[in-house]
């Protein structure tokens, strides 16, 4: 499987862009916790070695790369919380987190590479959706790493306050142990009530 490169960014530069941001999110599928997005504008002269789709990297490698990304790039992480996920739906909440991440960059980008097949509808910057972008674009790969490390840390912290659900290892996804804990311990304020497994449990309790 090929590694991401800088060709999409270079193409944008050749068309007049000066600052190209890569955007990715993590946490659409879990039953608990926020959805987290990251926007990254890499410095072409200081791109960390070994950037790749976060899913292809070990936790230790992700954390080491995140430190390099934060030291060399313009980075912003943003979230959409559980209440927003439940009121908007997960796709719109993911896009809201992406917009917030872009808005939080130190300097406004003039071109955006968004992971996935759909652009956030409120995005006003020139942009393109890149299917499997975290495996194609170094900027999106960097964003995927920072988003993943950040959200995993959030879920580990929440696990300290709500033990028993295994969030420190399952990151809120519906693992067998997580589903068993929901039956035994019930639904927490950090569970997504609009997601079918949680909704169904709550309906049974009515």
Q: Can you tell me the mean pLDDT for 56-61?
A: 96
Instruction: Say what the pLDDT of residue 164 is.
Output: 97
Per the structure, how many domains does the chain have? 1
Using the predicted structure, report yes or no on whether residue 28 has a pLDDT greater than 90. yes
* Residue 64 included in any domain: yes
Average pLDDT, the chain: 96
Q: What is the residue range of 107's domain?
A: 7-161
Instruction: Say what the pLDDT of residue 205 is.
Output: 61
Q: Can you tell me the mean pLDDT for 28-42?
A: 98
Which tokens belong to 162?
Answer: 């709500």
Instruction: Check the annotation: does 115 bind a ligand.
Output: yes
Tell how strand 74-80 and strand 127-130 pair up. unpaired
Instruction: Check the annotation: does 25 bind a ligand.
Output: yes
* Residue 169 included in any domain: no
User: What's the CATH number where 133 sits?
Assistant: 3.30.420.10
Chain center to CA of 84? 15
Tens digits of per-residue pLDDT, 78-128? 999 999 999 999 999 999 999 999 999 999 999 999 999 999 999 999 999
* Residue 138 included in any domain: yes
* Residue 206 included in any domain: no
Chain center to CA of 119? 15
Q: Can you tell me the mean pLDDT for 65-72?
A: 98
Instruction: Say what the pLDDT of residue 4 is.
Output: 97
* Residue 80 included in any domain: yes
Q: What are phi and psi of 93, to 5 degrees?
A: -65, -40
Alpha helices, H only, the chain: 7-14, 59-72, 82-88, 90-103, 138-161, 167-170, 176-185, 196-205
Using the predicted structure, report yes or no on whether residue 195 has a pLDDT greater than 70. yes
Which tokens belong to 174?
Answer: 């519906």
* Residue 124 included in any domain: yes
**Confidence tier at 1 by pLDDT (50, 70, 90):** low
Instruction: Check the annotation: does 86 bind a ligand.
Output: no
Using the predicted structure, report yes or no on whether residue 143 has a pLDDT greater than 90. yes
Using the predicted structure, report yes or no on whether residue 139 has a pLDDT greater than 90. yes
Q: Can you tell me the mean pLDDT for 147-151?
A: 98
* Residue 156 included in any domain: yes
What single-letter DSSP state applies at residue 135? Answer: G
* Residue 203 included in any domain: no
Using the predicted structure, report yes or no on whether residue 187 has a pLDDT greater than 80. yes
């Amino acid at each position: 499987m090929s590694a991401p490169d800088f060709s999409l960014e270079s193409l944008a530069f050749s068309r007049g862009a000066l600052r190209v941001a890569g955007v990715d999110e993590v946490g659409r599928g879990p039953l608990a916790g926020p959805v987290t997005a990251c926007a990254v504008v890499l410095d072409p002269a200081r791109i960390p070695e070994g950037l790749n789709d976060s899913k292809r990297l070990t936790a230790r490698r992700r954390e080491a790369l995140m430190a390099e990304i934060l030291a060399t790039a313009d980075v912003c992480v943003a979230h959409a919380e559980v209440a927003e996920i439940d009121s908007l739906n997960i796709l719109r909440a993911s896009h809201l987190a992406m917009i917030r991440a872009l808005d939080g960059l130190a300097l406004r980008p003039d071109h955006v590479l968004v992971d996935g097949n759909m652009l956030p509808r409120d995005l006003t910057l020139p942009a393109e959706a890149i299917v499997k972008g975290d495996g194609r674009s170094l900027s999106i790969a960097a964003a995927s790493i920072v988003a993943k490390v950040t959200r995993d840390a959030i879920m580990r912290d929440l696990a300290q306050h709500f033990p028993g659900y295994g969030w420190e290892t399952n990151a809120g996804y519906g693992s067998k142990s997580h589903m068993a804990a929901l039956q035994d311990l019930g639904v927490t304020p950090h569970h997504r009530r609009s997601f079918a497994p949680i909704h169904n449990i709550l309906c049974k309790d009515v």
